[in-house]
Amino acid sequence: METLAIVPALTMMLPALGPFLLTLVLLAGFGHLNRFRPFFRIPDDFAILSGILLTFGLFDPASLTHFSNPERPMDWIPDLVTGTFIVRTLLSRVSGSRLLATATELGAIAASGLIILLPLMRQRSLVSGIVLFVLAFLVWVSLRLSFIPTSKGNVPSSLLLSAFLILATLSLISPLSGSLLLGQLSGGLAAVLAASLVFSLLKSSTVSGVEPGLALGALVLIGRYYAEIPVPVVASLLSAFPAASLGQYLAKRIPGRTRTGRLGQVLLPALFSILPLSVAIAIAVRTLSSSEGGY
């Protein structure tokens, strides 16, 4: 693929409307039901989980049934996300400890990174495999901790917007690496995050789980080590998170009581993250347009 054909790409992404609408409807429905059932709340992240599973069901149905295929690391993602959701939800029922919640998220990130990279680590020496895993783990821990959760422990809208932009960019450049499937899954997950972002902006209520980040991180690792997206492109994608974190820090200095202040606290991090994402697109178009490969 030597050029970006926008119209065919948009046509292939039409199924992503399904996860977007499902996630948005479920978030709205759960929010309505939870007002009448305060003692047995339905986790809002169940809507996100449903959108993620629907995305994989539409674009890669085999991943829902062929778990742990070492030749297809994408098959691990739906089960990893589901397992993390179940464990985190059960722990939240028995303990309200923020420390336990953080430990659960970091453990999930570590486990997912290790599982996704396990087939690759088997092809390398033990030392290089451990180094690869540690680096991947530290990257995602630093990104997760760079955003301070809200008072309710929810993921801030600025982080959701940054993750959406990264997934949309990954969806755009993945076909250049020869992996149309990676692009479709990234686009579908971007639609899920878009629904969550729309709901959070309309209702001032954001999701509280790490599952969207797990799926995003897994796709970026797969794009790097299996679809062979160049290191500068992946580095530019990951730089969008620290850039957005800086934007969030500056946005907190904007008074939050006015509409302009609240809007700035969401849009300023996005503006900061657009620059490294633009660099990622430029590098990908230059280095991948004449290459072949893919997952």
DSSP letter assigned to residue 155: P
| DSSP secondary structure, 25-80, as one string | HHHHHHHHHHHH-TTSPPPTHHHHHHHHHHHHHHH-GGGGT-TT-TT-GGGGHHHH
> For 138-149, how does the pLDDT look when each residue is reduced to its tens digit (9 = 90+)?
766 666 666 555
pLDDT for 274: 93
Alpha helices in 146-258 (DSSP H): 157-173, 180-203, 211-225, 231-251
Alpha helices in 60-179 (DSSP H): 77-94, 98-121, 126-145, 157-173
pLDDT for 56: 94
Q: Residues in the chain with pLDDT < 50?
A: 1-4, 151, 294-295
| Residues in Cβ contact with 81 at an 8 Å cutoff, skipping those fewer than 6 apart | 49, 52, 53, 211, 214, 215
Q: Please give the angle made by the CA atoms of 239, 14 and 182, to the nearest 5 degrees.
A: 40
Alpha-carbon distance 101 to 143, whole Å? 17
| 158 close to 248: Cβ distance less than 8 angstroms | yes
Nearest to 42 by CA among 109, 91, 107, 89: 89
Q: Per this entry, what is the length of the chain?
A: 295
Residue 21 is encoded by which pair of tokens? Answer: 């609408």
pTM of the model: 0.83
Residue labelled with tokens 């697109």: 281
Residue 199 is encoded by which pair of tokens? Answer: 């709901």
Alpha-carbon distance 88 to 103, whole Å? 10
Distances from the Cα of 6 to the Cαs of 173, 178, 277, in angstroms? 12, 16, 18
pLDDT for 263: 66
Other Cβ atoms within 10 Å of 119 Cβ, number: 17
pLDDT for 1: 42
Residue 37 is encoded by which pair of tokens? Answer: 């059932």
pLDDT for 39: 58
